[in-house]
Structure 1
């Protein structure tokens, strides 16, 4: 069993609001420079397509903005425990496409994002059930 500090309700809600604001700034507004306000030092990245640190994150965000200028993300649900926030996200890179279901997990320290993991899956055209992915 892994033990994590529980955190107060206000800390947990504050961490969730930080993650929501990060998504809005980074992906919907595409304000790559402004994401610096959300990132702690050091920033550890577990996605193999993104380098560690603020510069690595900003480089990836610029690539995404250039390749997908109409990219939009919508956070469907969030869970917070201790210093971690998990977010279930629907990202649509090109309007009209089904998009990608994403599970992101962040670790925060002093109100800043300091570590990130993610798992992404394209939403298929057909499914064996009608439950949806997001």
Structure 2
């Protein structure tokens, strides 16, 4: 009927948060990159919780950027940790990593302000 209309393949792009993010990043399964990066922006109420998460991530050789906000948003904590993790651009891998990081942050009373999928640059 419409040659320009492509049906989204639910095996590659399931109808969930990670499937939608992967589809938005690259809607053509043949052009999916090998790796992408998931970038997390997280907040914690206490320095001890932020330190514990940073230590865990650094133990996995993940670069962490820490910051303290003198005027924190009332819904988020004052201690901020940003990090990005390279991951295969496949739904199951993205979902498992997102679930793992969500549990990690929640275990230390933190909140994920945002999680973005970005192009991975091997040279970084």
TM-score by length of 2: 0.26
Larger Rg over CA atoms: 2
Name the one with the larger strand percent.
Answer: 1
